[in-house]
Amino acid sequence: MAGMRIKKGDRVRVLTGKDRGKEGDVMRAFPETGKVIVDGVNVAKKHQKPTRATMQGGIIDKDMPVHASNVMIVCSSCDKPTRIGYRGEGAAKVRVCKKCGKNL
């Protein structure tokens, strides 16, 4: 998928769904599918079988991927969710905040 703008380590805000308004850090990005895993967002309860090591099972929280179009990057300079702009050309291209113009 061309041009996924959100990358691992970005701080994002969720725009839709049950976690709307939540913010978290991107733990993983999947450019092939256009999805991201955001810390603490879209958490599913997973049943885990007991393992030989711990001898206990239980329910664990697992962050499920959300589509990148459902989140917006939060600018570290102006602290607002923003669209991503670009400045420069080719390899020197940098992401900038559309609101304050600072580098993201």
Q: Which positions lie near Zn ion, rule CB under 5 A?
A: 75, 77-78, 97, 99-100
Nearer to Zn ion, 24 or 81 (CB): 81
Nearer to Zn ion, 22 or 95 (CB): 95
Q: Residue 11 CB, nearest distance to Zn ion (Å)?
A: 12
Cα 52 from Cα 55, distance rounded (Å) = 5
Report the residue count for the chain: 104
Nearer to Zn ion, 42 or 82 (CB): 82
Q: Residue 96 CB, nearest distance to Zn ion (Å)?
A: 8
Cα 51 from Cα 44, distance rounded (Å) = 20
Q: Residue 68 CB, nearest distance to Zn ion (Å)?
A: 19
| Rg (alpha carbons) of the chain, rounded to whole number | 17
- Cβ–Cβ < 8 Å for 54, 19: no
